[in-house]
Amino acid sequence: MPLKLIRADITKLSCDAIVNAANSTLLGGGGVDGAIHKAAGRGLLLECMKLGGCKPGQAKITGGYNLPCKYVIHTVGPKWRGGTHGEKETLQSCYREALRLAEENGCGSVAFPLISAGVYGYPKAQAFRVAVDAITEYLLTGDLLVYLVIFDSAAYQISEKLYGEIAAYIDDCYVERHSDTPAQQYSRLYDGESFPLAPSAPDVPCAAANPADDTDMFCDALKTCAAKQPVELEEALRRLDESFSEMLLRKIDEKGISDAACYKKANIDRKLFSKIRSNRLYKPSKPTALAFAVALELPLAETGELLQKAGFALSHSSKFDIIVEYFIRRGVYDIFRINEALFAFDQNLLGG
Ligand code: ADP
């Protein structure tokens, strides 16, 4: 199951469990803890009073009471003390323990806030990194749908340097877009290759000086054209023969990876992958198609080919496309890193 970054108020989510960044008394506090208790009502507090508190890095589960979720999993994050007091390990443990409890209680979906990233002072970008790493590690074997809920500004999630570089890259691409011809844009986008399906101009000879010769030459040119086109058309139709699904499965084989490794790396749900696998004419969305290109670590030209099978292309008039291109060009195929950047720029995310 995938990890989804969403911007929301966690108290409004109707997934099976939401996680509370609680304090060790478990008796309510400020921030997300206060919001959860307020929305859940007094029943939650009464149940929490029986739990005897909770140590940092551990987790306990209660009912959801007036919340739209079934359960609240309370975990206590570390207070930031400079990063040298095992804060990272404690924070990792919060995510692992909460996920374990969710699984043990038969949950299908769970939503996390950014634990410790508020009053407890864990630097937000680092807290975010720990969260994403811990959840993705779990997802290698686990089968929950996990939401990471971002409540405030997103720009901090990636380092300022990366944010600046991507912003500059977007600017450059937009500028290039206004100064290049479409052919140049395509060639730039696909590492200097010419457009693969562009119809090649027929070899029409230049007009001759003599008008009689002109007619003959024109007829010859037409014949050449007529003789050539069926072959080109056949060739084009042959290319069309391979569908998105077939190309995807072929490339998975060529890479020598398992289906599961591929859809997990693509942050795609197993059910969606099964649909694509069983329906050769399945047309995925652009974020899904691109997610597979990233999971397969395809270079830009091959990414373009796979996208084309789904009826899409990378375009410099879309920030989403430019950001994905930025990472592919640099050989960065970690879908969660790419999604962090997409999220920071308020774009759709890759994957299911
Ligand atoms: P901690 O004490 O662990 O730092 P906080 O509640 O102060 O916990 O903050 C944890 C994170 O939860 C912060 O990133 C904060 O922005 C976020 N947050 C606060 N309220 C909500 C909410 N209603 N839904 C989701 N996230 C929230």
Compute the average pLDDT of residues 343-348: 88
Q: How far apart are CA 62 and CA 233, in angstroms?
A: 64
Which atom, in ligand 1's list, is nearest to the CA of 34? Answer: 6
Q: How far apart are CA 92 and CA 87, in angstroms?
A: 9
How many Å lie between the centroid of ligand 1 and the Cα of residue 333?
A: 30
Compute the average pLDDT of residues 159-168: 80
Q: In the annotation, is 33 catalytic?
A: yes
Burial pattern 279-300, b for ≥16 Cβ within 10 A else e, equals eeebebebbbbbbbbbbbbbeb
How many Å lie between the centroid of ligand 1 and the Cα of residue 118?
A: 5
* 117 sits in which H/E element: none
Query: Residue holding tokens 């095992």?
Result: 86
Q: How far apart are CA 347 and CA 350, in angstroms?
A: 9
How many of the other CB atoms lie within 10 Å of CB of 271? Answer: 11
The residue contributing the CA closest to ligand 1 atom 15 is: 118
Least confident of 149-158, 238-247, 331-340: 149-158
Q: Which of 33, 172, 191, 214 is catalytic?
A: 33
End-to-end CA gap in the chain? 9
Q: 182-193: per-residue pLDDT in tens?
A: 555 555 444 444
Q: 21-70: per-residue pLDDT in tens?
A: 999 999 998 999 999 999 999 999 999 999 999 999 999 999 999 999 99
Token pair in block for residue 321: 């496309």
pTM of this prediction? 0.74
Are the C-beta atoms of 184 and 52 separated by less than 8 Å?
Answer: no
* φ, ψ for residue 22, nearest 5 deg: -90, 175
How many Å lie between the centroid of ligand 1 and the Cα of residue 124?
A: 11
Are the C-beta atoms of 53 and 64 separated by less than 8 Å?
Answer: no
